Every structure is written in C-alpha cells, then in structure tokens.
Amino acid sequence: MVEEPDLDLSRRLALALDVDDLVAAVRMARMLKGHFGVVKIGLELYSAAGPEAIGAIGDLGYEVFVDLKLHDIPTTVAGASRVIGSLGVSYLTMHAAGGLDMLRAGVDGLRTGAGNAGLSEPAGLAVTVLTSQSDPSGGTLGRWVELAAAAGCTGVVCAARDQAEVDRHGPGLARVVAGIRLPGDPADDQKRAASPGEALAGGADLIVVGRSVTRAADPLAAADRLHRAILGADDNPTHRRD
C-alpha cells in the first residue's frame, strides 16, 4: 500500500466525481486528498449543485476542473466562460466541434472572468473525440486540434491513443487524457480506454480517473493501486514527457 502518496504524481491526476450529491462528492474528495491534485466536476454534479460544487471542492485545496463541454453560439459560450472563470477554477472544457469562433470566445471569456476577479487565467480545454466513441476518421481529430491551437486553448481532452496525432497537429498543447481504467477493470461504456501507464507513456500532462476509483468497494485502496500501477512503470523513462 502507498503510505504517503507521491504529490508530484498527484498533481497529474484528476478525480472525476460524477455523482449527483454534493455531500457525497465532498466526502469522496476529502477521503482521497493527497492521491489527486485535481477534481473534475462534470455535468451530473454541476447540474445537482452548480457553482456551490466549485467552492466546496476548491475549499479542500484541489484544483477544480469544470467539464461542461460547452457547445453553443460564441456569445453564449463567452458569457458562460466569463462566469465560470470568475469562480476560481483551473480548467474548463469546450467542445471543439463548436468551431474556431466559439472556442476563441470561450478562451476570451475565461480570461475576462478571471481577470475581473483578480484570479489567474484558467486553462481552456477543447474536447476532441470522446473516449466512448470509435476511433476518429476523415481527419476530424487533426482539424479539431488545429482549431484548439488557433483559438488559444491551453490544451485538449483526448484518448490516450490520440496523443501522437495531437502532437502533430497542435505541438505545445497540453494533453488531458480521459477513459482511464486500471488493469483488469471493466471498460464500461468506453470504447477507447487505456491504463494510466499507457496514458503517461504517451506523454499525458493530466489523466482523468473516475469509476476505477469512485465505484470501487474501497476507493482509498483503489487510489493506492492507481499510484502503484503508475510508479511501477517509473523505471521505464518512456512514460515521461520531455
């Protein structure tokens, strides 16, 4: 068992709290503090608790990752991003399918909201092809990555196997990898799942882990297993991004 979580590693791990109860979310986040440096608030928790969830998780000392996959007209996305940027979040997602103007509006909104509140600018992340979908075809992934770069996004959300193509089309963009499963865990609805070691071997800057930990019989033991699974690969330098 990992007695003391590796804090440098924890900063690269985001806990996906996909629940509809803020009390349960805070309880889980408090239990796993130290194993994760970031908490992802998705549609389910945000729909249940709204901005209160951001404050409650932030108060525990986590970086907050708001995963709403905004996709609307540029004016609407700019306004929503401006509000969320003022709340002290570290990350916000927008869907790359919304196009260049929408992504740019989201990035500008985040900058304005954070600036008005005297906060650091959050990272605007463009969601590409979901990990619940089959492998992209027809150049979709590359086009969306190029849009993200042109719009000024900090990074993209992608599958582990997409990282090399992300680098080709958007060098310098941070890679946030979803669809993570511990070895032996069911893939559930994920068609392009990967292990944490595979994601880091591809150069992921941040990996998002949800059900493998949150739905485990013992979430704390599962979080320890996650750290062991990654640190066990540390003798292999290929998982480090230069």
**Mean pLDDT, residues 132-151 taken together:** 85
**pLDDT band (50, 70, 90) for residue 7:** confident
The region of weakest confidence among 30-39, 61-70, 71-80, 226-235 is 226-235
Structure confidence by residue, pLDDT tens digits, 57-75: 999 999 999 999 999 999 9
Name the CA dihedral angle for 181, 195, 54, 56, rounded to a multiple of 10 degrees.
70
pLDDT of residue 242: 35
pLDDT of residue 139: 87
Q: Which residues are within 8 A (CB) of 99 and not within 5 positions of it... i.e. 6 or more apart?
A: 147
- How many Å apart are CA 60 and CA 34, to the nearest integer? 11
Structure confidence by residue, pLDDT tens digits, 78-121: 999 999 999 999 999 999 999 999 999 999 999 999 999 999 99
Chain-centre distance of CA 92, in angstroms?
Answer: 9
Kindly report the backbone phi and psi dihedral angles of residue 89, in degrees, each rounded to the nearest multiple of 5, phi listed first: -80, 165
Q: Which residues are within 8 A (CB) of 24 and not within 5 positions of it... i.e. 6 or more apart?
A: none
pTM assigned to the model: 0.89
The neighbour count for residue 192, using CB atoms within 10 Å, is 20
CB-neighbour burial class of residue 13 (10 A; exposed 0-12, middle 13-18, buried 19+): buried
Active site (catalytic) residues: 69
